[in-house]
Structure 1
Amino acid sequence: MDTNSMIFRLKERLTIAIAICTLSACGGGNSSNMQKDVPTSAHQTALNSKDKAKVEFNYQKLIDDLVSDEIHGIILHVSTPNRTFTGSSGTANLTTQATLQPDAVYHLASTGKVFTALLAVQLHQAGILDLDATIDTWLSPEIIEQIEYGTEITLRQLLNHSSGVYNYSDPRSNDAYVEFVLANYDKGITNQDFVQFALGQPAYFKPGKGAEYSNSNYALAGMILDSVLGHPNAHAMRDQIIDRLELGNTFSVGIENQFGEITPGYEKQNGEYINTWPILSHVTSASTPVASTVTELSTLMDNIFNNEQWLSSQAREDLIGDKSRVSVFPGLEYVLGLWKEEMQGYTVYHHNGGNHGYVSNNLYIPELNTSVVYFLNCGLNDKCLDAFQTIERAVMESILARPEV
């Protein structure tokens, strides 16, 4: 089946469902895959413990048990002060049957929103833009007049989803934007292309009067960043984030595809598994900006919370502090590019993402200096999403029940 014949039923309604899935919705409870054996796989890259006598949670067995004909490959990274595990299981490429490696590069989908938010914060700190300026400062009158309350919305409100701007991938709407991508991806898809499907639509609420996850917010933010910089924001993202942190396998999708070889992502169509990367590689969007590895995404989070030389306390406050926080419901807030959630007495910053062929999750617990990142290349089918949630439940339970591990 050629690439053009795919999609078509792969409406991204499921994408938004996974993008807004939170720990309280996907986590809690016990997993039948929770084991207490010591991992032994050759794909495991590191395993250290201060107490060798203690039986450790078997992360490798967890992912090994989940891989199947429909769940092609899983990569999992768990880093605590006492232990680091990076393991993979399954297949990277269904054509070559290549084994999935722990350092494989995946499309992050919405998990990458933190890169966009972080760049905006850094530009704010440099005085290049103002997070609290209204978006009509940068966007054309032709766009602003088609966004309800457009002259009242700030850039910060775009980045924390308190703008009220209609989501072009609203699961209750039709999928015109998906059909547009399918018909035009070979020409390149941009933030402006996605935004057109939000223009003229009613706002969810007045700016600052609610919180509603909207990919349109980040597409608009990407347009603003490009306008301020005078060139694709991917170049500044590389200079300020990717190269500064030496993230050698991280790159901006659609702009820097030559920087890395991405693992295929698969969706099933008419009984066949189709690699979606040939389409997604042409999509450049600040709502799904980058591809990366599990360890490099973990490195980013560690630096966000712990590297004062790279990210000042003032910048960190702009990213996750009180001014940027909006309440979604009790115990769950959105900051800039991340969810903030209270779980079993700990604060967890996280964001997951799904795109046809790829699902990913990124979680960080500052009090425990603990990072969890995992990727699957089986797309948005029910079994893949079940596996996605099983991993989160089991890993977070293993960490929060025994935080010393």
Structure 2
Amino acid sequence: MNEYVPQSRSRHGRRWVATTVAAGVVAAGVLAPTVAFAGGRPDSVQSSLNALVKEDGLPAALAAVKGRDGRTRTYTAGVGDLATGARVPMDGQIRIGSNTKTFTAVVVLQLVAEGKVGLDSPVESYLPGLVRGDGIDGRHITVRQLLQHTSGLPEYVDKDAILTDPTRYYEPRELLDTALGQKAHFAPGTSWEYNNTNYLLAGLIIQKVTGRPLGEEIGRRIVDRIGLRHTYVPAPGDMGIREAHPKGYNRGADGSLRDYTELDPSWGWAAGAAVSTPSDVTRFFTALLGGRLLPAAQLAQMRTTVAADAIAPGARYGLGLVSRPLSCGGVAWGHGGTIPGYDTAGGATDDGRAVSLAVTMIPGGETGQHVEAAVDAALCR
């Protein structure tokens, strides 16, 4: 789904559950063996995943890494099903949360390239009379401000309601009404604050302009175009994950783990409902940076950023695309996503390196930092 947010520590993107799994959870022989390269050097990616399971207590971790040689390698560690002890499917499907925002942004920018949407046109041009509230006026919020989180719109996500009733279906207009019932956080264009309402409206614009469901447009314009064989936006009522997947968990207030694999992602919709695999996610971001999804002018707009230190030190937010500095120099472009049961992090570089790493519980505190460090290490090795 979307997660509640991207890989961020911000008020709107924070990891909101602590994660400590009893050591017995990983005692069923589920750590993948450490792979060694020629000369006996251990594979650092596999070692990182093993540590996330064994030391940080996450049920499972899986990753796809495209290296400097152009090859994509997949990795797993941990337990795919805590009840049965089943192994983690290699390159299994997961809910990718707010990575969905990048897909949505790409479709909007394709419509910009086609002359059907104006980046600096007001939302009112496409959704007349819809966006009104306390300090909120669609006549003064642009499409660019939606994609860049500079609109000042308030958040619609109620994480407690979602955790309490994860199979409930939400209509986009119902979610929008929740946001519009609040006061604007700031005047459009005067600040930056991550929230899902921006992408809810972006999805509604796509549907209004194309006359087609959002999932169909993402499928036609992105998934089919670059051959993402395991990526889709769930249809209304689709609460499962279609292909082989690890189960996703969340720790409750009483310390128990609850299986959130079956979940209605309608509340995430254009902001975070998509399902994919680590290898498909790396393929998507590599294709995007390589110019296969957008003309040069629109890709340049997507990569025009504003400071977003609330996500991570040095992070910057473009149009549905985040840049983060790497310890080895340069930056990685990607997004990340969190949704009950799953957390994804990753990115791609301009020279073709890419990584997507997923864990099957939302990590908090130091564990979240370890996930981000594993991504950095994979890109810098």
Band the TM-score falls in, shorter-chain normalisation:
0.7 to 0.9
3-state SS of paired residue (2:47): helix
Residues of 2 paired with 1:387 and 1:365: CA distance? Answer: 24
**Contact 1:149–1:206 under 8 Å retained in 2:** no
Aligned residues: CA RMSD: 3.3
Q: What displacement does 1:327 show?
A: 2.7
Shift of 1:239: 0.4
Helix, strand or coil at the partner of 1:151: coil
- Counterpart of 1:161, as a letter, is H
Following superposition, the deviation at residue 42 of structure 1 comes to: 7.1
- The 5-angstrom pairing of residues 2-401 of structure 1 reads 15-16=4-5, 18-20=7-9, 52-53=38-39, 55=41, 57-68=43-54, 70-82=57-69, 84-145=72-133, 148-169=136-157, 175=158, 178-179=160-161, 182=164, 185-186=167-168, 188-255=169-236, 257=238, 260-261=242-243, 262-269=245-252, 270=254, 272-283=256-267, 285-308=269-292, 310-320=293-303, 322=304, 325-329=305-309, 331-344=314-327, 345-366=329-350, 368-380=351-363, 382=364, 386-397=366-377, 399-400=379-380
Are the counterparts in 2 of residues 147 and 201 from structure 1 also a CA contact under 8 Å? no
Matched position secondary structure for 1:279? coil
Instruction: Tell me the alpha carbon deviations over residues 144-181 of structure 1, each in whole angstroms, 9 at most, x when there is no partner.
Output: 35562431111111001111111224xxxxx4x74278
Q: Which runs of 5+ in 2 are unaligned?
A: 16-30
The whole-number CA distance in structure 2 between the counterparts of 1:198 and 1:289 is 18
Partner of 1:37: none
Kindly provide the amino acid, as one letter, of the partner of residue 390 in structure 1.
Answer: H
The letter of the residue matching 2:195 is: S
Using structure 2 for the length normalisation, give the TM-score: 0.81
Q: 1:306 to 1:183 in 2, by over 3 A?
A: closer
> In the aligned structure 1, how far is the partner of 2:280 from the partner of 2:301?
23
Secondary structure in 2 aligned to 1:243? helix
TM-superposed deviation, 1:276? 1.4
Q: Quick one: structure 1 residues 274 and 365, their matched pair in 2 at CA, closer, same or farther if it must change by over 3 Å? A: same
1:121–1:179: structure 2 CA closer, same or farther, 3 Å change rule?
same
TM-score with structure 1 setting the length: 0.77
Paired residues, number = 354
Q: Please give the alpha-carbon distance, in whole angstroms, between the structure 2 residues aligned to 1:326 and 1:338.
A: 11
2:270 is paired with a residue of what secondary structure? coil
Partners of 1:377 and 1:96 in 2: how far apart? 15
Q: Provide the C-alpha distance between the structure 1 equivalents of 2:83 and 2:370, rounded to a whole number of angstroms.
A: 27
2:371 and 2:317 mapped to 1: Cα distance?
23
How many angstroms apart in 2 are the aligned matches of 1:189 and 1:43? 43
Cα contact 2:63–2:91 (8 A) shared by 1: no
Comparing 288-297 with 54-63, greater Cα deviation is found at: 54-63
Per the alignment, do residues 92 and 398 of structure 1 end up closer, same or farther by CA in structure 2, a change over 3 Å counting?
A: closer
Give the deviation of 1:19 after TM superposition: 3.9
Cα distance in 2, alignment partners of residues 100 and 109 from structure 1: 19
Change (3 A) 1:184 1:102: closer
Taking the aligned partners of 1:109 and 1:253, their CA distance within structure 2 comes to 12
Question: CA offsets, 1:273-325, max 9 Å, x none?
Answer: 322132334545111031100000000011011144x43212312322x3xx2
Bigger mean CA deviation after superposition, 202-211 or 292-301: 202-211
8 A Cα contact 2:133 2:182, kept in partner: no
Percent of pairs identical after alignment? 24
* Alpha-carbon distance in structure 2 between the residues aligned to 1:74 and 1:184: 23
Distance in 1 (CA, whole Å) between partners of 2:215 and 2:114 is 17
Structure 2 residue identity aligned to 1:115? F
AA aligned opposite 1:339: V
Q: Deviations over 1:336-358 (max 9, x none)?
A: 11212334431221322211111
Q: Please, which runs of 5 or more residues in structure 1 have no aligned partner?
A: 1-11, 27-39, 170-174
Distance 1:282 1:133, change over 3 A: closer
| Amino acid of the structure 1 residue aligned with 2:180 | L
Instruction: Provide the rounded CA distance (Å) in 2 between the counterparts of 1:43 and 1:128.
Output: 51
